Structure 1
Amino acid sequence: MIGYGLGAIGPGIGVGLIFAAVINGTARQPEAEGKLRGLGFQTFILTEVLALIGLVLYFIASTK
């Protein structure tokens, strides 16, 4: 469980960086908010999938 906890740090930081970039981009160009928000959520989903894969692998490894 410690290994998964350490592995979840990366996606957590990634999500923070993704939405920081979306907020920064929206502040610079408000007219691009819709496009930036869509891209932000797509990359958020990809990042969270990596965390979920790590969780699934933890459960697979712990059953053996």
Structure 2
Amino acid sequence: MIMIGKLIGAGIAAVALGGAAMGIGTIFSALIAGTSRNPSLRRELFQMAILGFALTEAMGLFALMMALIILYAF
């Protein structure tokens, strides 16, 4: 019974990985759209996109870490 709870909890925590993937896709699609609208701002837009990518990826890694902790720590 405890193992079922662990698997359900890890699955719920892993759902955030899909959200992180969608967020990264949104960031880079906005970068492409912004660069196509104003190519002179490419450098600034790229820097902001990399910052957004890093923060979004960090949240995905935290979710993965929580899923693994739920599975294996207790």
Q: Which residue of 1 aligns with 2:38?
A: 29
Shift of 1:44: 0.3
1:19 maps to a residue whose letter is F
Deviations 1:3-52 (A, max 9, x none): 34422111111001100100000000000000000000000000000000
Normalised by the length of structure 2, the TM-score is 0.78
Which residue, out of 4, 8, 11, partners 2:20? 11
Aligned residues: 64
5+ unaligned residues in a row in structure 1: which ranges?
Answer: none
5+ unaligned residues in a row in structure 2: which ranges?
Answer: 1-9
Q: Which has the higher contact order (CA 8 A, sep 6+)?
A: 2
Aligned pairs for 1:34-53 within 5 A: 34-53=43-62
Normalised by the length of structure 1, the TM-score is 0.90
TM-aligned CA distance change 1:58 to 1:5, over 3 Å: closer
1:23 maps to a residue whose letter is I
Of the two, which has the highest radius of gyration? 2
